[in-house]
Structure 1
Amino acid sequence: MKGLERRLINFKKPERKGRLITVGRVEDLPEGRSATVELNDGAELAIYNVGGRFYAIENFCPHKGAPLADGFLHGRIVECCLHGWRFDVGTGQCLTRPGCDIETYEVIIEDGLIKIKV
């Protein structure tokens, strides 16, 4: 598309292997908050608590590479702290630029533990 900046590549995006990773307890992430999840291999995810429901996305804005866990959360929408690009944390859809969607990851709550399927 003419006039759109090129999308950056996220070198810290987790490789999908179909495994569950425990990242913390439910009470560790209060409602309306986000956190960066660093995996053993250097990959990163952003996790959000929206009204008691947990969402995980790649921790990378395709515009300039800013960590989305540092963004501003408005309901299910996270706004990148650098240039204001907006993403739906439930679907990964970029609301700012078509075609710049990000990966989402399934979150499972089990016995009070937050687990992410990567």
Structure 2
Amino acid sequence: MAYIPLCKLRNLMEGDAAPFNVEGREIMLLWPDGGELQAFDGLCPHQRIPFSRGVFNGRYLTCTAHDWVFDGRSGECRQGEDCTLARYPLRVVDGVVEVELT
């Protein structure tokens, strides 16, 4: 599959989260403090609530519907059921963040 441009890297900062809808899929970019930019499934696996309504504190993403908490570096659920968010490959080309839908 081809990579799809999302945004310019300069529009993001470490500690930020940014939701996107790409070809009908919810994608959440997370840039954890001290970590690397990541692209995850943008829906909580519990009840498919969009993370655009969630809270990211620079390390953990919390779904505000039922307080499930996910590590922004790995996507692992830290509070809730044993699960991990699906991760999408991403790259930065000429200052543009691109994601590959797999």
Aligned to 2:11: 28
Instruction: Please state whether the residue corresponding to 1:57 is helix, strand or coil.
Output: strand
Contact 1:92/1:102 (<8 A) preserved: yes
Which residue matches 2:25?
Answer: 43
The runs of at least 4 aligned residues of structure 1 exceeding 6 Å deviation read none
More strand by share: 2
Unmatched segments (≥5 aa) in structure 1: 1-17
1:15-63: per-residue Cα shift (whole Å, max 9, x none)?
A: xxx32111110122233222221113x1111112234731111011122
Cα 1:50–1:90 shift into 2, 3 Å: closer
Say if 1:71 and 1:78, in contact at 8 Å, map to a contact too: yes
1:57-84 deviations in whole A, cap 9, x for unaligned? 1011122222123322133321112221
Give structure 2 stretches of 5+ with no counterpart: none
Task: Quote how far apart the aligned CAs of 1:101 are.
Answer: 1.9
TM-score (norm 2): 0.81
Partner of 1:3: none
* Cα RMSD after superposing both structures: 1.9
Quote the offset at 1:103 in angstroms. Answer: 0.2
**Which residue matches 1:94?**
77
Partner of 1:8: none
TM-score by length of 1: 0.71
Describe the SS at the equivalent of 2:52. helix
| Partner SS state of residue 18, structure 2 | strand
